[in-house]
Amino acid sequence: MTIFRKSLIATMLLASVGAHAAPLGNAKAVKGGSYKYNLETQPTTLNPLSSTDAYASVVQRYINETLVNQNEDNLEYMPSLAQSWTISKDGNTFEFTLRDGVKWHDGKPLTAEDVKFSFDAIMHPENKYKTATKKPYYENIGSCEIIAPNKVRFKVKTPYFNNFETVATGLSIVPKHIYENPTAEQEKELNKSLVGTGPYILDEVIRGKYLKLKKNKDWWGNSVADYAGVYNYNEILMRFVKDGTIALQRLEKGDIDFLGLQPEEYVKKAKGAAWGKKVFKVQTANKGPQGYAFVGWNMDNPLFKSKNVRKALTYLFNRELMIEKFQYGLSEPATGPLYKTSMYADESVKPIPFDPKKALEILRAEGWKDTDGDMILDKVIDGKKVNFSFTILEPLQDFVKYLTIFKEDAKQAGIDVNVKFIEWNTFITLLNEKKFEAVRLAWSGGGLDWDPKQIWHSSSADGGGSNFISYKNPKVDKLIDQARVELNRDKRIPLLKDVYRTIADDAPYVFLFNKKFTFYAHTKRMKKVKDTFTYGLGTDYWWIEK
């Protein structure tokens, strides 16, 4: 659970004792009711140590907690499992004192042992707990020591601009007595169960249909003034409705209370007799980090090893048409591996335009020709004639139409593209095993202070890291390593802009779109403080009108 658990600011490396902001919620918010949310897809696993998908993180944030939270309006710290903390003057030691009386959902008390285990599990040298995607953030922390039953000390091994945020707001605390040494059978159970200290308890999971959370009546935050007006529902029902059109229909019927909308849904589909009366749509904007969609090329595949070929493929993506046709001008072409308004995005980088003539010119220069008259380009690679033919895996049915436009334009250039819609769990398995040629996916916004290591460093290409396309550039590695130890943000910005610029030039992805706004819809019974806070929507502060 978190109010706002993203790595956002590294400039607050000062001695502190739990300084925090005023509550954001409405203390008079109505308590009770069942909040119905569309999770879209059942998570591949609920295990907070090994899970990697965004669907699992949505569930976990209501159940698992961090030591510290951040205010969603101004980023100031709020005590969570830690009631207070201190940072040494040199920024190399962090001590946290745990809140008294916190219990796990199974009734056992939270102790410093749980905090230490949560860190040690991530850093296990043999990756026992399948935490490879999390390690890049914690590798600069040397140790977590227990200095009292309710107190832990983290010692920094290597300077890193995000060290404090990583352990304070990023480390999800899990119960040692459940996760430490599970048998093979118990490990399977951990994939579909979840025990935390947070405001909600996992109550029921119905495969393929929904999961249900119930209010934790013993949650420590129920009696803490800082958390007044938050987590107001008695129950949260998370449905698994994959089809966007069906989800909108269920929203209109009251089966779902909140939906994030795509631009096409906001403009074209969210209309009719119920809209403005029973259901409402909202267009808003905030300063929170924004994600982006992409098509990633498996760079272990000979087809995609050449930077020029990857650029040629980008020239065949008619993003302007896709935006006009499906997003109604409410997005813009992405330029690189971060949302364009980030302080770390190099504004000099321009999007690669749709230019089939330029694409074909590049491909011919790279030796791709149709030598047998079958209308497909081919080339001899490692002594064998290879056709320029590949499959893009797509986990979202509604996005197939975007890729179909690319498929037709690529065909005109002599490239055979197959678009394959694939179920999410299978998709994640193939991704982790690198059994794909190309994939279409999206990254969420992450933190305001960008750390590209997890996705773009060559060390993250192996052992289950998030660099699943196997992108490797020594210059990028060096710049990332330099940026991570640069504590001065003003000096770090030019380093990471160079990372942005270099990755964009390497074209390991087709960087698709950046949204100009955030869109969502909700039922009439949902009440809120305001449409959005400064760094997020703040849906945790909503309530149900009775």
Q: Is the dihedral of CA 195, 196, 201, 204 positive or negative?
A: negative
Tokens of 74: 């101004």
Q: How far apart are CA 239 and CA 34, in angstroms?
A: 12
Q: How far apart are CA 269 and CA 49, in angstroms?
A: 38
> Which neighbouring-strand residues pair with 237?
36, 212
Which region, left, alpha or beta, applies to residue 32 given φ > 0 means left and ψ of -120 to 50 means alpha?
left
Q: Is the dihedral of CA 172, 173, 175, 179 positive or negative?
A: positive
pTM reported for the whole predicted model? 0.85
Residue type for position 124: H
Is the distance from CB of 141 to CB of 166 less than 8 angstroms?
yes
> Which neighbouring-strand residues pair with 259?
521
> How high is the pLDDT of residue 22?
53
Tokens of 489: 């943000």
Eight-state DSSP code of residue 167? I
- Tens-digit pLDDT profile for the chain (546 aa)? 333 333 322 222 222 333 344 568 888 899 999 999 999 999 999 999 999 888 999 999 999 999 999 999 998 999 999 999 999 999 999 999 999 999 999 999 999 999 999 999 999 998 899 898 888 889 999 999 999 999 999 999 999 999 999 999 999 999 999 999 888 888 889 999 999 999 999 999 999 999 999 999 999 999 998 898 999 999 999 999 999 999 999 999 999 999 999 999 999 999 999 999 999 999 999 999 999 999 999 999 999 999 999 999 999 999 999 999 999 999 999 999 999 999 999 999 999 999 999 999 999 999 999 999 999 999 999 999 999 999 999 999 989 999 999 999 999 999 999 999 999 889 989 998 999 999 999 998 888 899 999 999 999 998 667 999 999 999 999 999 999 999 999 999 999 999 999 999 999 999 999 999 999 999 999 999 999 999 999 999 999 997
Alpha helices in 34-129 (DSSP H): 54-60, 112-122
DSSP SS3 for 303? helix
> How high is the pLDDT of residue 18?
35
Could you give the domains of the chain?
34-223 (3.40.190.10), 292-515 (3.10.105.10)
Instruction: Give me the helix-helix angle, 307-315 and 489-506, nearest 10°.
Output: 80
* Nearest in space to 41 (alpha carbons), one of 208, 213, 245, 206: 208
A 10 A CB-CB count for 383 gives 5
Residue type for position 282: V
Q: What is 192-236 written as a DSSP string?
A: S----SSSEEEEEEETTTEEEEEE-TT-GGGG-GGGTTSS--SEE
Three-state helix/strand/coil letters over 428-441: HHHHHCCCCCEEEE
Phi, psi (deg, nearest 5) at residue 290 = -110, 150
Instruction: Give me the helix-helix angle, 489-506 and 474-484, nearest 10°.
Output: 160
Which region, left, alpha or beta, applies to residue 66 given φ > 0 means left and ψ of -120 to 50 means alpha?
beta
Tokens of 215: 């209010």
